[in-house]
């Protein structure tokens, strides 16, 4: 893919050029085998002085490129890359530019039909490729005919198998219908019993979970009430706080002025009037929301001493 992208960047302005496949060599070889074509291989040497002219004037020649695209699967690789370097060693490339024509052989091997080393004109390359194509035509035709014969034999076997399966399925259909009716009745009875058990289990589970939630909530509120501590007597360092609830209910309590906003939330939570964590304490004139960023402030630091009136705002 890197080679194809680089070739497109360098020679993309040419009207016609080989359609190099963007895949590894073995995948390209398999593609050529599946399409009954030969594989045209070009090994690119970026540093060779003949490379630019060969690519632009020979590989991108309209007639040659069209011939390659019509009759071959084209694969290219740079010898700077691992796979291109590996193929240059495998094909024993000694001069560049280097082209070769190969085809798939047995046991995942390749048959080297022709190699072209050194700069060549489009006419010279075309003559070589035409000759290789003519010499290999019988092999490609035989492979195509052999594949067609295999497909025909496979289709015939599939048709015979289909006929046998149809007859077998017809024999089995009547027995299956009888069993299906019996199984349907058994399934309905089993399903009814399963649903009854599931409903009973769900009811017991819901009751258990509700009880657990209630116990956990009661424990949490008890812990919060304990953390709030005893209500202090009136004094200069004691703050009187009035909390108004959405229902209109009011709660008033005294706190030490160094008590944090978090303790106010704990106090409201301990009353059991609201869902824990689903509200905010807000003051008016000016409007201030005592959210998470103010929980560590003391009442005095938050400007709520010596007395404050807060209302509960439910979170949406």
pLDDT of 19 = 92
CATH number for the domain spanning 63: value is 3.40.30.10
Q: In this structure, are 105 and 244 located in the same domain?
A: no
**Interval 274-293 mean pLDDT:** 86
Judgement on whether residues 150 and 1 belong to the same structural domain of the protein: yes
**Is it true that the peptide bond before 132 is cis, omega within 30 degrees of 0?**
no
Same domain, 133 and 13: yes
Which structural domain range is residue 79 located in?
1-154
- Do 13 and 137 lie in a common domain? yes
Average pLDDT, the chain: 89
pTM over 0.75: no
Does 14 have pLDDT greater than 90? no
What would the pLDDT profile of 178-194 be if each residue is shown by its tens digit? 899 999 999 999 999 99
Is 73 inside any structural domain? yes
In a domain, 54, yes or no: yes
pLDDT at 222: 79
- Give the per-residue pLDDT at 283: 92
Whether the pLDDT of residue 75 is over 90: the answer is yes
Q: Is 12's pLDDT higher than 80? A: no
Q: What is the pLDDT of residues 23-49, one digit of tens each?
A: 999 999 999 988 989 999 999 999 999
**What is the DSSP pairing of strand 307-314 with strand 238-244?**
parallel
> Is the same domain home to 99 and 245?
no
Query: Are residues 243 and 94 part of one domain?
Result: no
Domain-terminating residue out of 101, 132, 154: 154
- When pLDDT is cut at 50, 70 and 90, the band that residue 69 belongs to is very high
In a domain, 200, yes or no: no
Question: Does residue 28 sit in the same domain as residue 120?
Answer: yes
Split into its structural domains, the chain has a count of 2
The pLDDT tens digits for 155-183 are 888 888 888 888 888 888 888 898 999 99
User: Is the pLDDT assigned to residue 247 strictly greater than 90?
Assistant: no
Indicate whether 138 and 23 sit together in one domain.
yes
> Which among 154, 180, 199 is the end of a domain?
154
Q: Is residue 211 part of a domain?
A: no
Where does a domain end: 114, 134, 154?
Answer: 154
231 within domain boundaries: no
Return the pLDDT at 131. 94
CA distance 311 to 198: 45
In this structure, are 149 and 250 located in the same domain? Answer: no
Strands of 110-117's sheet, edge to edge?
72-78, 38-44, 98-104, 110-117
Residues 267 and 119 in one domain: no
Q: Tell me the CATH number at 263.
A: 3.10.20.90
Q: Is residue 77 part of a domain?
A: yes
pLDDT at 61: 93
Query: Is 161 contained in some domain?
Result: no
């Amino acid at each position: 893919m890197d080679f194809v992208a680089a070739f497109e960047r360098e020679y993309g302005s040419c009207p016609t050029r080989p359609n190099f496949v963007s895949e590894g060599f073995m995948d390209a070889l398999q593609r050529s085998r599946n399409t009954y074509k030969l594989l045209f291989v070009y090994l690119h040497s970026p540093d060779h002085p003949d490379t630019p002219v060969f690519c632009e004037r020979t590989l991108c020649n309209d007639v040659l490129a069209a011939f390659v695209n019509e009759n071959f699967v084209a694969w290219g690789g740079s010898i700077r890359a691992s796979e291109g370097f590996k193929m240059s060693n495998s094909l024993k490339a000694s001069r560049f530019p280097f082209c070769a024509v190969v085809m798939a052989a047995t046991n995942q091997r390749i048959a080297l039909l022709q190699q072209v080393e050194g700069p060549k004109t489009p006419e010279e390359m075309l003559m070589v490729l035409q000759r290789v194509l003519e010499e290999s035509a019988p092999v490609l035709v035989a492979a195509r005919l052999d594949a067609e014969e295999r497909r025909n034999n496979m289709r015939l076997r599939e048709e015979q198998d289909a006929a046998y399966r149809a007859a077998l399925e017809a024999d089995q259909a009547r027995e299956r219908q009888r069993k299906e009716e019996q199984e349907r009745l058994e399934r309905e009875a089993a399903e009814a019993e399963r649903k009854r058990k599931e409903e009973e289990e769900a009811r017991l589970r819901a009751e258990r979970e509700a009880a657990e939630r209630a116990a956990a909530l009661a424990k949490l509120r008890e812990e919060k009430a304990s953390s709030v501590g005893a209500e202090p007597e009136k004094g200069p360092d004691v703050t009187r706080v009035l909390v108004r609830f959405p229902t209109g209910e009011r709660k008033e309590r005294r706190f030490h002025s160094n008590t944090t906003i978090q303790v106010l939330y704990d106090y409201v939570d301990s009353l059991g009037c609201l869902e824990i964590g689903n509200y905010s304490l807000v003051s008016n004139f000016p409007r201030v929301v005592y959210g998470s960023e103010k929980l560590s402030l003391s009442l005095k630091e938050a400007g709520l001493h010596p007395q404050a009136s807060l209302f509960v705002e439910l979170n949406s």
